[in-house]
Structure 1
Amino acid sequence: MLRGLHQAFGHNARRPLSFTAYPWVKLTTHARPSFLGQRFISLPGTFTSSRSAFDPRYFSSAQSLAPQPLVDASEAPVPLGSQPVLTPPPVAYWLLFSSALVFAVIVVGGVTRLTESGLSITEWRPITGILPPLSACQWEEEFEKYKATPEFKLINHSIDIHDFKSIFYMEWGHRVLGRLIGVSFIVPFAYFAFRRKVLSRPLVRNLGLLGLLIGFQGALGWYMVKSGLEDSLMTTPGAVPRVSQYRLAAHLGAAFVLYAGMFYTGLGILGDWRWARGAGWSGMKSDPAGTEWIKVLQNPAVKRFSRYSKALAALVFVTALSGAFVAGLDAGLLYNEFPMMGGSLVPPTDELFSPFYAKKADGSDYWWRNIFENPTTVQFDHRCLAMTTYVSATALFLASRTSAMKALLPPVARSMATSAFAMVNIQLALGISTLLYLVPVPLAAAHQAGSVMLLTTVIHLVFSLRRPGAAAQAWRAATKGAKSGKP
């Protein structure tokens, strides 16, 4: 029994058990452990602990006390030793903090592009590049490298070193913030991953993919910048020294995926932990049986509402990507009016689809190149997607306010539908203002930040209709079984 207890507390089995090493352990006179509420209690013959029953030390299926039947959501007995890992809140807080850093780097990246600072650093040095030039000689050396770029030769040939420093620091700050995200993610991840019984295997895999995506983002960022440094821009008629809109959209899209992954995973961990400890699901009144969510999610109307919420999240993402094409082509500087474009809702056909953008002799790339490379078409597409997003978010909000859906949806879902509607109105106002005022940096940066905020509210809406995780269900059932007195 002592050896089994020693293993259950997660220590090396070869180390002799000493009660002085566990001052919180008390020896009683009878026989078996049980759960009641949130603490171990002493039943006849038990080693008991004042620690929470949800301490990660007890979440392993590899080491346990003698099996004890518990009750899951379907009333089937579950051995204590088979309880899955329930990830604790510190992991959620770390992920939410990491997502906030990604939010910040998206906004800083937008300002970097708007101030045309992104091509000021002509090399990618992931380690040594963390330090800016520290002497006048080093500044002159960096400035000489920039003078060799197409951007300096065609646009910025009149700037001096003081002007260069301002754009250099903007790009340098963006890159340093990206490195900070990498360090602040990898170091805690390694700590949590190697600490026993904190992360489940699927969560380790998913977080590992997010870590790889951070590294990929760094490489993709340099790949994007490199497209604006190519010497071929000097000889291409009508070429402008700027990064490829395709690579810019890929870089921004990967950042949105990274943000969404961190934010949603953090919400899931925190929500599961609270629900497993007895809180109500998605803001509903707590049900001791933990079954309040089942009836809601099985309702056909709620299922449709959940599907529409996911579709809205996808639409927000696609609209944001179309905004990257607008930014990459400076398409926001065309047709600075709304809702008209040149006196009508649709621009002239010869501008919308021009043969100028086709590169192949047979014209087979005529359609798709106009869609992605024609500034007029790109702005029109972004307007159409933005208005579709606005109408969809409004329709979802109105649906959530009907008497039937108000009775079916949980409180958090209703509040998030309202938040999404409020945010889509703010985002529309920012977008129109940015257009009318010829893309000023503050408004354009706020518009990009608004796209992340809108995505945040929609992700939270989708999350509010998510079923509790398997680990949370198992632990909620265990608590229910203990409170009901079932063996």
Structure 2
Amino acid sequence: MPKSPLSLLYFQHQRPQLRQWFVRRNRSSISVEAGSPSTPTAAIAVPNAATNRIVGRWLLGCSGLVVGAVVLGGVTRLTESGLSMVDWHLVREMKPPQSESEWEAEFSKYKQFPEFKILNHEMTLPEFKFIFYMEWGHRMWGRLVGLAYILPTVYFWRKGYFTRSLKGKVLGLCGFVVFQGLLGWYMVKSGLEEKPESHDVPRVSQYRLCAHLGSALVLYSASLWTGLTLLLPAHKMADTRRLMQLRRFAKGTGGLVFLTALSGAFVAGLDAGLVYNSFPKMADKWIPDDILAFSPALKNIFENPTTVQFDHRILGIGSLTAITGLYLFSRRMVLPRRTKIAISLLAAMAYTQVALGISTLLLYVPTSLAATHQSGSVALLTFAIWVLAELRKMPK
């Protein structure tokens, strides 16, 4: 049946209002389908720029807590406090000894292990309390890191803040936190074992220490990278040949920085910083005589303190050279201002870190300076990851 001109005029006038009504109706039906059966009107949030900022800031906060755990773990090792707690309980050990009798009982347990028998047999109860609280603080900080990852993950998941790809990444981070805690206890156990054939100072296995530090750095790097990519939009840069070379250069440099930080675990585990306290030569030689003292030769790389210190020096100098080259190469290119700032800060931190390392060596590894040097390695890794985030390709 044909419509009259007046009815057609009325329909055209009301068309925008009808379109808005249909849009509201469709949104309402989507919300009902996405909500729970008990609350059909509840709407599930869809990942967008605002939720990405929230998740990105959360991940940056988590990465900051991981840095705190790394630094606190380094100080715990430098003060030789890591073997003071001879048990591991997820909940029970959260409350330290309260009464004098509880402290005496804890001290008695410590006396049964090699560190007290060989190194600390004259230790008093007040001295034991200090090293106990250092290790206790490190373990409690680790539990705080775990809660900071797991609890917000549950909340954001229920709110619908994660995309499908981000869900996999976040689950991986949470799983890695749990693995990191178990690896920490596995490391401590190596220092509590009786070794009748050895009369050396009791210490944890340098291999397990390296694994523990390495897993913490992987957790930190993954959290920081994911957070930065959510918060910092990728730059629109043409994929020229020079830009692709710069990206490859930055990736190789970042890998070298990570490897150098990881080699520091072997230096710490073997107290290799106390072997040759001179620079640039080791004593009066560029290559010391005992660099291949162990047999087979491969064993020197991981168990000979002289070789471990030599390798860490080479890696540190290599990292400085690579970062300097990256900086000079980037100066010849037109890059966004934020990218230039990131590369400049990376270069400045590299020279600062080398100065800290040399000072730590020459002054016979004082605790405060050694802890600062370890923190500097994380700061250098941070700037390297920032540079990589700035140079990443635009998503397709």
- Structures share a fold, TM > 0.5? yes
Contact 2:277 2:283 in 1 (8 A): no
SS in 1 for 2:207: helix
Provide TM-score, normalisation by structure 2.
0.90
Q: 1:137: how far off?
A: 1.3
Paired amino acid for 1:90:
I
Among 296, 306, 313, which residue is 1:376 paired with?
Answer: 306
Residues 294-353 of structure 1: per-residue CA shift (max 9 Å, x gap): x2xx111010101110111110111011111000000000110000112121111xx011
Q: 1:415: how far off?
A: 1.3
Which residue is 1:346 aligned to? 287
Q: 1:58: how far off?
A: 4.7
Residues 120-172 of structure 1: per-residue CA shift (max 9 Å, x gap): 00011111111111111111111001001100000000011100000000000
Contact 1:87 1:200 in 2 (8 A): no
- Aligned equivalents of 1:352, 1:240: Cα separation in 2: 22
Which structure shows the higher helix fraction?
Answer: 2
Contact 1:332 1:435 in 2 (8 A): yes
Paired amino acid for 2:115:
E
Which structure shows the higher strand fraction?
Answer: 1
Please list every run of at least 4 consecutive aligned residues from structure 1 whose deviation after the TM superposition is greater than 3 angstroms: 8-18, 56-59, 84-87
- Aligned equivalents of 1:259, 1:211: Cα separation in 2: 12
- Aligned equivalents of 1:315, 1:180: Cα separation in 2: 30
- Aligned equivalents of 1:194, 1:136: Cα separation in 2: 46
Which residue is 1:38 aligned to? none
SS in 2 for 1:463: helix
- Aligned equivalents of 1:262, 1:92: Cα separation in 2: 9
Alignment of 1:439-458 (within 5 A): 439-458=365-384
- Aligned equivalents of 1:333, 1:5: Cα separation in 2: 68
Among 162, 165, 174, which residue is 1:211 paired with?
Answer: 174
Among 335, 338, 353, which residue is 2:276 paired with?
Answer: 335
- Aligned equivalents of 1:376, 1:457: Cα separation in 2: 30
User: 1:379–1:14: structure 2 CA closer, same or farther, 3 Å change rule?
Assistant: closer
Which residue is 2:17 aligned to? none
Among 22, 30, 46, which residue is 1:8 paired with?
Answer: 30
- Aligned equivalents of 2:46, 2:252: Cα separation in 1: 39
Paired amino acid for 1:251:
H
Figure out how many residues of one structure are paired with residues of the other and give that number.
373
Which residue is 2:323 aligned to? 393
Provide TM-score, normalisation by structure 1.
0.73
- Aligned equivalents of 2:206, 2:232: Cα separation in 1: 38
CA-based RMSD: 2.1
- Aligned equivalents of 2:343, 2:39: Cα separation in 1: 57
1:150 pairs with 2:91:
no
SS in 1 for 2:360: helix
User: 1:13–1:239: structure 2 CA closer, same or farther, 3 Å change rule?
Assistant: closer
Which residue is 1:201 aligned to? 164
- Aligned equivalents of 1:384, 1:399: Cα separation in 2: 22
Gaps of 5+ in 1: 23-55, 60-83, 273-280, 283-291, 359-365, 471-487
Gaps of 5+ in 2: 1-21
- Aligned equivalents of 2:340, 2:76: Cα separation in 1: 37
Q: Percent identity between the aligned chains?
A: 46
Which residue is 2:104 aligned to? 140
Residues 223-275 of structure 1: per-residue CA shift (max 9 Å, x gap): 0000000012xx11343300000000000000000000111101111124xxx
User: 1:58–1:259: structure 2 CA closer, same or farther, 3 Å change rule?
Assistant: closer
Contact 1:319 1:385 in 2 (8 A): yes
Contact 1:87 1:269 in 2 (8 A): no
Which residue is 1:53 aligned to? none
SS in 1 for 2:202: coil
Residues 8-34 of structure 1: per-residue CA shift (max 9 Å, x gap): 34664978999xx99xxxxxxxxxxxx
Which residue is 2:5 aligned to? none
Among 94, 102, 105, which residue is 1:130 paired with?
Answer: 94
Paired amino acid for 1:309:
A
Contact 1:316 1:454 in 2 (8 A): yes
- Aligned equivalents of 1:330, 1:97: Cα separation in 2: 32
